[in-house]
Amino acid sequence: MDFTPTEDRRMLSDTLRRFLTDSYPFETRNKLAYDPPYHSPEKYTELAELGVIGAFVKEDAGGFGGEGFDITTVFEEIGRALCPEPLLGTLMSVRALADLGKTDMVEKIIAGEIRPAFAVFEPEAGERLDDIRTEASGKKLTGRKSVVYGAEGGDLILVAARLSGNIALYAVRDAEISGYAMMDGAGAGEVLLDNTEAELLSEDCREVIEAALDAGRLALCAEAVGAMDVQQAMTIDYMKQRKQFGRPIAAFQALQHRIVDMAIEIEQARSITILAASHLGGEHRSRFVAMAKNLVGRAAELISEESVQLHGGIGMTWEYPGAHYAKRLVMIDHQLGSAESHLLRLMEAA
């Protein structure tokens, strides 16, 4: 199979890289990521106008992409720039709405007119849809959703809830939200539902939700690959400048071996992300995505730890970008299921 990027994807990647480089210099990124609303609504709209959200869904749903490689093209650049925009929630929401045939909503999201969030997991529940306790009664929802990415300031929240023994999906436009910045920046929130008005989108959409979550997991894998590329380049650059005993520390063979190990881990992560992207719409989607999330999660943890150690004390300072890349890589391992949880998922499916 030829994995060479198409001309359209190459153009999207180049355009997005230039936009993110100009829009999110390091200091600007940190201010946006940790101050409410934890991103820039203006930049989010500009990203939509660039066609970034349209790349998440297929042409028959109003987009121009929708394949796994379209998602990885966007999120690898998001990872390189440490972009705090809530595109992960947008991706999962617009994929679910497209699968349900909600064309009007999809078109508004692609145009940047409304920004959605995707609320599935709960404080007392695990990462399985069977553990969801939020319940629907008529057009009302009661429950609590936890760590909903981009919930703060969102126009629409898609909520998974239990209905007559099934997992249904609702649209909520007016919920109580307690927002906060995550430890690596960017926003999330607790969504509190107490007889809250909701619009029923589908009475039984377990597979639609699982497919949207897998698209999100693939996106996180690609984001990690982009962040790891930058983290490795920064580490090598530092080692060429930092001197010990009159020589750059990059000249020491023991440290060169650690950089080679990092390069091998990154290439393995890139390869399995490509493999998962090629299977996103296929029969074995969940298996390949779980394999990728497991391996990428372990690689992300190793790269973050190695880069901090090779930098010494500077690697943990707020003023140095490498510290923020390291935090983001650790967080990616825990979003939408850790390496351990996806290993368990694979073992149970075997």
pLDDT tens-place string over residues 198-249: 999 999 999 999 999 999 999 999 999 999 999 999 999 999 999 999 999 9
Q: Over its length of 350 residues, how does the chain's per-residue pLDDT go in tens digits?
A: 667 889 999 999 999 999 999 999 999 999 999 999 999 999 999 999 999 999 999 999 999 999 999 999 999 999 999 999 999 999 999 999 999 999 999 999 999 999 999 999 998 877 788 889 999 988 999 999 999 999 999 999 999 999 998 999 999 999 999 999 999 999 999 999 999 999 999 999 999 999 999 999 999 999 999 999 999 999 999 999 999 999 999 999 999 999 999 999 999 999 999 999 999 989 999 999 999 999 999 999 999 999 999 999 888 899 999 999 999 999 999 999 999 999 999 998 87
The one-character DSSP state at 38 is S
Closest CA to 65 of 8, 144, 18, 135: 8
CA distances from 171 to 116, 129, 210, 294 (A): 9, 17, 17, 31
Residues in CB range of 209: below 8 A, 6 or more apart? 96, 120, 129, 160, 167, 169
Each residue's pLDDT tens digit, 96-109: 999 999 999 999 99
Q: What is the pTM of this model?
A: 0.96
Q: What is the dihedral of CA 261, 266, 270, 275, to 10 degrees?
A: 40
Which position has the token pair 């809830």? 161
